[in-house]
Amino acid sequence: MKLRTILTTGSAASAIVLAFATAVPAFAQDTTPAEEEATPATDDASTIIVTGSRSTTRTVENSPVPVDVLSAEAITEGGQVETNKILNKLVPSFNFPQPAISDGSDALRPATLRGLSPDQTLVLVNGKRRHTAALLNINGTVGRGSAAVDMNSIPALAIKSIEVLRDGASSQYGSDAIAGVINIRLQDASEGGKAVASYGKYDTTLDGVSKVTGLQVNAAGQPIIDPTDSRYFLANTSGELHVRDGETYTLASNFGLPFFGTEGGYLNLTAEYRHRSRTNRTGFDLRPNYVKSGALFDPRELTFDRREFRFGDPTADDFSLFLNAAYPLGDFEIYTFASFNQRDSVSAANYRGENNANNVDYSVLAPNQPPPGSFTRAVLYPDGFLPLIKSDLTDYSYTAGLRGDVSGWNADLSVGFGQNQFDYQTLNSINASFGPASQTNFDAGGLKYSQGLVNLDMSHDFDFGFAKPVTFALGAEYRNERYQIRPGDFQSYALGPLFRAAVPNTTLANCTALGGRYGSVAATTCDFPGRAGGAGAQGFPGLPASAATDADRHNLAGYAELDADPIPGLSTTLAGRFEHYSDFGNTVTGKFAARYEIVPGYAVRGSISNGFRAPSLHQQVFTTTSTNFIAGVPVDVLTAPVSSPVARALGAKDLKPEKSVNISGGVTANPLAGLSLTVDYYNIKIKDRIVLTENLGASTSTADAAIRAYLASVGSTVTAARFFINGLDSRTQGVDAVMNWRLPLGGLGKFVLTAAYNYNKNKILKRNNTLGPLASIPGVVLFGRTESLRFEKGQPKDKIVLSLDGDISSFGFTARTTRYGKVLSPGSTLPAAPNQASFTAPGPDDVTLSPKWITDLELRYDLGEKYHLAIGADNVFDVYPDRLPFGNRPTSLGGQYPQNNQYNAYSIFSPFGFNGRFLYGRIGVDF
């Protein structure tokens, strides 16, 4: 039987025609009764879609824009259970790096489409806009400065299929749809169900990481320092390090029931519990951990556990509930879907050694007394400490609506609400400026984002004598957003009594009266080495009281769309949208797309559109303060809202929406039965991209010193800040190619061969370095070298996915191999003279990660009609990204590589992570 899956990525209006024509319950996601199965990756050419179009007759074959369709089988097969990891394996233009030691980004990792920002892809569930997460990614990861949708909160078993529209679609769906649209369709069966249990674990050998069996010692039993690099001890090793960790198990069930026994009604529920133990891909840290006594090392150096860092996936416990339901009511249908997700995650910050300045117990020292250099000095943690960051993420949403025929128009009215809350705790830590009086566990504050929606969508087919009826759709949307910041415990961010700032330009007599030390830092400066405790909870300082925020905004939108086939073989879409935002005003977008079949089975297609992305509330109002120490002096670095006095003093302006122009063109071919091929070129120019500035005033450079002096001159108590700006114009261009070949084997089964390729290149066309009041200070840069390289080269240049799926009688298999192209992992060290100011010249610590092939295998067996068994291996050949260089740089470069490269061996920019081989098994039961 021919598969005819009804896809409805798009507005509610377009789906209503399908819903009533087929009498199936789920809005924007229904299937014809003839549906049998979905192809594991990209569906066959006859699949009916309305992705990117509101016509009810569009198919994958005649769509004027490229659409990927991922089936439930493809989503639930394989060892990965996180939606973002699944998409990373199946969609070539999708990128999901997996950073570590990145604070909240460890628990909620951002993903990208076509190399653009995570917030430039619109995510829908059942055709309705999904709310974004409360977390704003402000660390040094891909997606810095963005807030994305947490797709990992949606369990795989709840998903019927995923449609990925790879084209600009702001005129059809609104803000954020610059890179494209991802629509997640929920299961809608009214009977039967499935229960699945899976278990897996990493069994891997860390490439290039030696297993240390002990330190080398001299005749006196003292550890030996490496004569070529005095930062490290010499060690005895035995091959490469082998680990087994990351135990993961999932218990999930999905089932459907007739809603109150009505024909056409359904109640579909999914519940999932997922546990993931942490992984650790750190090597052995060979730096001294303890303070020396004179020339002698502490004897504890010989027994200290040198894998004290944690570098990998955090421990996580996820619980999810999803509901999808519909109830016929005369000529109308009431529908609803809702979700709840609770995720508790524990990740790690950087380890603080016993010899760390913030491990000293300053309470036992006089203000002028430096910490003693001896084994017996007073410390807060005897061996040092590893701060832990616990995140408590609560996410829920619900949507309810009524759809039916109103005077010949298919109408849909819906309301929805979604909220994401992210609360932090810092554990096993200390605020050194409070000494022994400090807490060790802190409530570090929290973030909350919520979104309310009201949608009205209508559509009608008109017969004007064209090849097919003309679909006219129109609709309106009201959206309200709210963003809140809750401060943490006082000690989580405060500067306590065991810190005193140095007093410059004073006298010996005054310094003596203050109890300080005179002339050690500078001739007329009084400093306090016995009062040098760092501020805030180590590892993750809390959100300060000054960060308390409660802001909201609203917008109103209206759209119209025409879908027509004027003559046989020619398909067209014309769309326009108007939006009004309460915080920045109005925007208008439009789109035209067309496809022409030159001869049967061969066609050309293309589109042109303009789009926009509204500055998120996060980017406009997020604020926090952290304390950095510059030459022993605390410098408060403020992440400032653009409307704040500090940001205004530094030249900040109100954020404008990002605006894009998208052009695409391609060809489609169906040369044989079951064989389809599409090739599409895209060119996306974006103006006024929103980025986070550098930390202005937060270093020892001459420019930053001048910025601090300027801030003081205007009466600011903040000495350094960063804020969001419309900082870049960019161009993203590339090519997507997808081949799908279905090979039936008569009554025995089938093979499906899929080959997909993406080439992608980001380029900064223009920088906004309008400095305003800072223009008189030489060397000030708003968006610097490291961020520029990350922006242009921090994601794969290309990606290839080759897969073969087979089902023969009771057996099935999947063999997939993915090639991730080269990625640049930028270092912070500037290039050598005369290129220090260059944004593109290579620096001595920049590392190019070479292309890698990652291969996954799975074998399946159906034990009767109800029981299904599977075993498999992801990354079966245990491939790792290139090991980061450490020790001394080549003579031509001079100096030394960053010390953390020795023990944290892999870059967080690796597009496939760095966990190695994952072995798993799965059992499913149908009922």
* Amino acid at residue number 555: N
Q: Would 369 be classed as within a structural domain?
A: no
Per the rule left: phi > 0, alpha: psi between -120 and 50, beta: everything else, 377 is: beta
The 3-state DSSP composition of the chain as helix, strand, coil percent (nearest 5) reads 10, 45, 40
Can the peptide bond before residue 834 be classed as cis, meaning omega within 30 degrees of 0? yes
How many helices (H) and strands (E) the chain has is answered by 10, 38
Q: Specify whether the CB–CB gap between 155 and 339 falls below 8 A.
A: no
The backbone torsions φ and ψ at residue 383, rounded to the nearest 5 degrees and listed phi first, read: -115, 10
What confidence score (pLDDT) does residue 16 get?
27
Residue 14 has pLDDT above 60, yes or no: no
pTM recorded for the entire structure? 0.91
**Tokens 């025929």 identify what position?**
405
Name the band, by pLDDT with cuts 50, 70 and 90, for residue 716. Answer: confident
**Which of these ranges, 248-252, 551-555, 671-675, has the smallest mean pLDDT?**
671-675
What confidence score (pLDDT) does residue 56 get?
52
- Half-sphere exposure (CA, 13 Å, Cβ side) for 560? 2
Q: Specify whether the CB–CB gap between 227 and 253 falls below 8 A.
A: no
What confidence score (pLDDT) does residue 524 get?
94
d(Cα 405, Cα 646) in Å, to the nearest integer?
55
The backbone torsions φ and ψ at residue 257, rounded to the nearest 5 degrees and listed phi first, read: -135, 150
836: part of which helix (H) or strand (E)? none
Q: Would 832 be classed as within a structural domain?
A: yes
d(Cα 402, Cα 238) in Å, to the nearest integer?
67
74: part of which helix (H) or strand (E)? helix 72-76
Q: Specify whether the CB–CB gap between 690 and 655 falls below 8 A.
A: yes
| DSSP character at residue 248 | E
The backbone torsions φ and ψ at residue 491, rounded to the nearest 5 degrees and listed phi first, read: -70, -15
Task: Give the pLDDT mean for 900-915.
Answer: 95
Query: Which tens digit of pLDDT belongs to each residue from 490-543?
Result: 999 999 999 999 999 999 999 999 999 999 999 999 999 999 999 999 999 999
What confidence score (pLDDT) does residue 188 get?
94
| DSSP character at residue 543 | P
d(Cα 614, Cα 209) in Å, to the nearest integer?
45
Q: Would 807 be classed as within a structural domain?
A: yes
Torsion sign across C-alpha atoms 616, 619, 620, 621: positive
Q: Would 2 be classed as within a structural domain?
A: no
Q: Specify whether the CB–CB gap between 300 and 383 falls below 8 A.
A: yes
Is 608 strand, coil or helix? strand
DSSP 418-482: EEEEEEEEEES---GGGGGGS-SSEEEEEEEEEEEEEEEEEEEEE--SSSSPEEEEEEEEEEEEE
DSSP 505-541: S--HHHHHHHT-EESSSSTT-EE-TTSBPPSS-TTSP
Task: Give the pLDDT mean for 432-460.
Answer: 97
d(Cα 900, Cα 282) in Å, to the nearest integer?
10
Q: Hey, what are 315's tokens? A: 């421990």
Name the band, by pLDDT with cuts 50, 70 and 90, for residue 32. Answer: very low
**Tokens 């030159």 identify what position?**
598
Q: Would 773 be classed as within a structural domain?
A: yes
Percent of the chain with pLDDT over 90: 79
What confidence score (pLDDT) does residue 43 get?
45
Q: Would 784 be classed as within a structural domain?
A: yes
Q: Would 859 be classed as within a structural domain?
A: yes
Please write down the HEC assignment for all residues of 545-584: HHHCEEEEEEEEEEEEEEEECCCCCEEEEEEEEEEEECCC
- Half-sphere exposure (CA, 13 Å, Cβ side) for 681? 6
What confidence score (pLDDT) does residue 60 get?
61
Q: Specify whether the CB–CB gap between 368 and 516 falls below 8 A.
A: yes
Query: Which tens digit of pLDDT belongs to each residue from 225-264?
Result: 999 999 999 999 999 999 999 999 999 999 999 987 778 8
Q: How many distinct structural domains can be found in the chain?
A: 1
Name the band, by pLDDT with cuts 50, 70 and 90, for residue 71. Answer: confident
Q: Hey, what are 643's tokens? A: 């409307």
Name the band, by pLDDT with cuts 50, 70 and 90, for residue 63. Answer: confident
d(Cα 519, Cα 503) in Å, to the nearest integer?
11
CATH number at residue 842: 2.40.170.20
Task: Give the pLDDT mean for 859-874.
Answer: 95
The backbone torsions φ and ψ at residue 105, rounded to the nearest 5 degrees and listed phi first, read: -70, -15
Average pLDDT of the chain is 90
Q: Would 523 be classed as within a structural domain?
A: no
Query: What is the extent of the structural domain holding 710?
Result: 12-351+386-498+533-926
d(Cα 827, Cα 841) in Å, to the nearest integer?
12
What confidence score (pLDDT) does residue 51 get?
53
Name the band, by pLDDT with cuts 50, 70 and 90, for residue 59. Answer: low
